[in-house]
Chain A
C-alpha cells in the first residue's frame, strides 16, 4: 500500500516535472535575458562568451547587450552565449549532484527578527509539512540572565564538516559540491543516528505518513519545487536550501517570505548575498556586522552565519505560538 502509493506519486511527479521543465526552459530564457540586458552579470559571470570558439553557431539575429570585463557595453548575438549554469533536466535530477559552480550560504540578521513566523509558514507550505511544523525553527534565546532575549531562526546549517554525514551508515546523507547537505530518502534506513549526531536538532523524521499524505492531498499544487526532499515514511528529512529554486537562481521560500529581510541567501563563490531587497557583499557584511556562526567551537563549520542582535529593529516581545 505504502510502496504502491509512493510509486503512484512518483509517476505523477515525473509527469509534472516534464511540464515544469518546458516552462522552466522558457522562464530561464526570459530570466537570463533580463539579467544580461541589465548588466547584472558584472558580479557573477552567469554566462561566458564563446568568441574564441572557432565553431560558429547559426545566428539568431537576437542581439543582447553585455558588460565586458573592461567595462564596455557590447552587443552580441544570443547564439554565442553559453550559460555557465547548464540546464539540469529536473526529471533526471540526481539528488547527489550539486548546482555547478555554486557554494550556497545564508546569513541571518538577528537584529531584524521579531518572530513574525512567516518563514516557518512558507517553509511548511513549500515542503508540504503539517501547519505547526517546518524545517526552520525560531527559538527564544537568552545568552545570560542579565542579557536581552532575542529570536533566533535555525534552519539546517549545511555544515562543511557535517556530523550527520559522518555518522550515516549507508551514505544516505551527503555533502554536495554546492555546499548543501542533502538526503537520499530512497537510501535512508531510518536509524536516526544523524538526528542525534546533529548538535542543532535540525533534522526531522517521517514517524508516520503525515507529511506524505499532505503532499498527496495537495499534489495538484506541486509546481516549482519537485526536487525538494520527499516525504518517505521511516526516513529523515530536513531543510534543503530549496535546491530546485537555487537551480533557477531563485531564493528559498523562507527568504522571500520574511517581511523584515532577516535572511540573506547567496553564493560564497560570488561573495554575494541578498535578502530580496538589498544585495550585499558577503565578506563585507560579515565584517561590518560582526558575523559569527552558532556554536563555532564544535568545529562543524556551518554555512549559515548570524549577525548579532545589536541595534534591534524591534523590541523583544513574547509571541504566542504563531498560528498559520
Chain B
C-alpha cells in the first residue's frame, strides 16, 4: 500500500467509507415495525398461555395430560426429539460447511447457530416439563447412574449446548465491538452496556482475529462428533428398549439424517423471513436459496434411504407386534398423518427441490415449512403408536387409556415451547447483527473502522 499515491489512497478510503457505511447500516440490528411488535406480542401470548397450562400441571400433576400407563410418553417427548433434531443445523452450517470450504455459507452461519442454541435451550426446558417430579431434577446430578441413556443425553446435550454457544459467541465479538462503537445515539443505555460487556474489550488486532479463527477451527471440528452423539443418544432413549418400532439398530443414523434435514429446512425458513423483513437481498441471495435447496434435497434423500430401511425391512418380515404397529401406521388409525408426513414432508420436497424453479426463495420457503411441520409430526409418529402396541395387550383399562389425544394443557405447553424458541431467535435478531458483518466485510474486501479491520491481505 505504501507505493500508492496519496490521492489514490484517499480515493480508496472514500470508497471504503461509503461501502462500510452501507454494510453497517444494512446489517446492524434494527427496531421492529408494527409487524415485528405484533409478532413478539403474539409469541408472548402463546408463552403466557403455556405458562398457565404448566401451572395447572404443577398443581395437579401429569394427570392433566392424556398420558397414562400405556402411553407414558407423549408429545412432550416427541417435541423434545424435534428440538434436539433442529439443533443439529448449527453443526451442519458452522462446522461441516466451514470445514468443506463452502464460501456461500457466510451470511447463514449465525442464523443456523442461533436456531441451534434456541432449540437446545427449549429441548432442555421441555424435558423438565415432562418430568413427574421436576423438583427432584438435582437427583440427576447427585444420584446419576452413568449406565442410563438419560444421563448420556444430559452429558452430551450440555456439552453440545456449551460448544454451540461458543460457536455463536466467538464470531460475534467483532460485531459486538462494532455495535459498541456505533455512532448511533438512539440506542438505549442497557444495550450499550450489554455490547460493551459482551465485546470483551475486542480491539480487532491481528492477533485477536488469529486466536478467534483458530478457536473456531477447533470448535468446528469438536462439534461434529458431538452433533452425531446428541441425536444418536436421543435415538437410544427409544432404541435401547424392547418396544416394537423402537427396537432398531437403524435408529441412530435414521434420527441423525432426519435431524440434518429438518435443520436445513429451518434455516431456509428463517432466512426467508429475515431476508424479506430486513431487506437483506444483497446478502442472502437467490444463490443461497438455490444452494440450501440442493443441500436439503441431498439430506432428504439420505433420510429417505433410512426411512426405507426402517419401514421396508420390518414391513417385509411383519413380526407379530411390530407388524401390528406398522399396519396401524400404514393403513390404520395413524395412516392419514403417516402418509401426509412421508409424502408432503419428504417425497414432495425432494421432487420440488430437484427443479431450479423449486429452489427460488418463495417455493423453497414453502417447502421448508412443509418439511419442518412434517418433521414435528414424524416424531409424534415415532413415539405414540409404538407405546400403543405393547407386547402384553392393553386390556381391562379405562377406555381413554387405549388411545392418546393430547389435552389442551399439552398442546399449549408445546406451542409455548415452539413460541419460546422463536422468541429467543427474535430477541437475538433484535439486539445482535444476524449476519456476520466482519466476515462479509472481509470477503468483500471492505475495511471496517480502522481498529476493527480484520486486516485482510
Contacts and interface: CB of A to CB of B under 8 A. Distances in A.
A250 interface: no
The range of chain B's interface size is 35 or more
Nearest to A138: B396
B136 A189 contact: yes
Interface in B62-81: 62-63, 65, 67-70, 72-73
Contact of A321 (B137, B242, B396): B396
A170 B132 contact: no
Interface string A52-95: 00000000000000000000000000000000000000000000
SS class, residues of chain A in contact with chain B: loop
Nearest to A236: B132
Contact of A188 (B70, B132, B145): B132
Interface string A275-309: 00000000000000000000100100000000000
Nearest to B244: A199
A172 B136 CA distance: 12
Interface residues of A, number: 44
Nearest to B60: A208
A167 B150 contact: yes
Contacts of B63: 207-210
A196 B132 contact: no
A207 B237 CA distance: 21
Contacts of A205: 62, 68-69, 72, 132
Interface stretch (B28-36, B259-267, B384-392): B384-392
A191 B132 contact: yes
Interface in B119-160: 130-133, 136-137, 139-140, 143-145, 147-151, 154
Contacts of B68: 205, 207
B5 interface: no
B393 interface: yes
B42 interface: no
B398 A189 contact: no
B81 to A, nearest CB: 13
A163 B241 contact: yes
B105 interface: no
B395 interface: yes
Nearest to B321: A199
A230 to B, nearest CB: 14
Contacts of B342: none
B232 interface: no
Interface in B381-424: 387, 390-398
Interface in B17-64: 60-63
Given A208-B60, A209-B61, A298-B242, A189 B67 contact: no
A36 interface: no
A201 B392 contact: yes
A190 B143 contact: no
Contacts of A170: 136, 139-140, 143-145
B54 to A, nearest CB: 14
Interface in A192-212: 192-193, 195-197, 199-201, 203-210
Given A169-B151, A187-B136, A208-B61, 5 more contacts: A139-B393, A193-B149, A196-B72, A201-B394, A205-B72
20 contacts: A137-B392, A137-B396, A139-B393, A140-B395, A166-B147, A167-B150, A170-B143, A187-B139, A187-B143, A188-B132, A189-B136, A196-B241, A197-B240, A204-B69, A205-B132, A207-B68, A209-B63, A210-B63, A234-B132, A235-B133
10 A-B pairs with least C-beta separation = A190-B132, A234-B132, A208-B63, A169-B150, A169-B148, A207-B63, A199-B242, A195-B72, A170-B143, A234-B133
